[in-house]
Amino acid sequence: MHLATCQTGKTYILYDADSVCDAEPAPQIAPLLFDPAHWHQAGRVVGEAPGRGSSLFLDAGREQWVLRPYRRGGLVARLNEAGYLWTGLERTRAFREFRLTAHLHELGLPVPRPVAAGVTRGGLGYTATLITVRIRAARALAERLADVEPALLERVGATLRRFHAAGLDHVDLNARNILVDAEGQVWLIDLDRCRLRSPGTWREANLARLERSLAKFGAAEHMAAIRRGYDSPPSGRRAAPRSE
- Cβ burial, residue 7 (10 Å; 0-12/13-18/19+): exposed
- CA dist 187 and 175 (Å) reads 11
Q: Is 35 a catalytic residue?
A: no
- Angle, CA of 149, 186 and 91, to the nearest 5°: 145
Which candidate in 18, 22, 35, 172 is catalytic? 172
Query: Pairing between strand 195-196 and 186-188?
Result: unpaired
Q: How far is Cα 126 from Cα 118, in angstroms, rounded to an integer?
A: 10
Q: What's the CA angle centered on 173, arms 33 and 237, to 5 degrees?
A: 85
| Residues annotated as part of the active site | 172
